[in-house]
Amino acid sequence: MSDTRTDNISASNQSAFRNKVTLGLLAAVLGCIGAHWWYLKRPYAWLVTILSVALMIIASQQTRWFENPAFFLLFIPTLDGFIEALVWCLMSDDRFDAKLNPGLTREHPSRWGPVLIAVFTLLIGTVLLMFGIAMVVIYVWDLLGWLEGFNLNPD
């Protein structure tokens, strides 16, 4: 009887095998809407998705969507996705499988896929982070009056 139960558990988990490359891509590319949370079947994944979509809609209603505070709030789940992509992709296969695929065996090592996703994530994440910091600095300096005399918006 215990053999049947073990077979059922392993058969049901076999379809839920988590792949590092898939998880890394979801976190890096669609992390802003929490796609990797859905893949990991985390609770409250729907909340991240709804919040991110609402922020996107609010930001898109403005003429200058990239200067809207909602757009900057959207950086939080986006950066979280980049950080999680790095963490999951650079984690060793043994540790990754122990956390997300307990009792399942990996057919072959993950090799270069996760490393390339980590490099892509660092590149894009750094560019977006620098853009966000620059926009916040310009916004604050403009409010403080430090940019008087500079024409930042040529017509």
Taking CA atoms, 92 is separated from 40, 88, 112, in Å, by 18, 9, 12
Per-residue pLDDT of 84-109, as tens digits, reads: 999 999 999 889 988 988 888 787 78
Per-residue pLDDT of 15-71, as tens digits, reads: 578 999 999 999 999 999 999 999 999 999 999 999 999 999 998 998 888 778 888
Contact yes or no for 122/86 (Cβ under 8 A) = yes
**H helix intervals, 61-112:** 69-73, 75-90, 93-100
Tokens (6 digits) for 31: 């992390």
Report d(CA 61, CA 55) in Å as an integer.
10
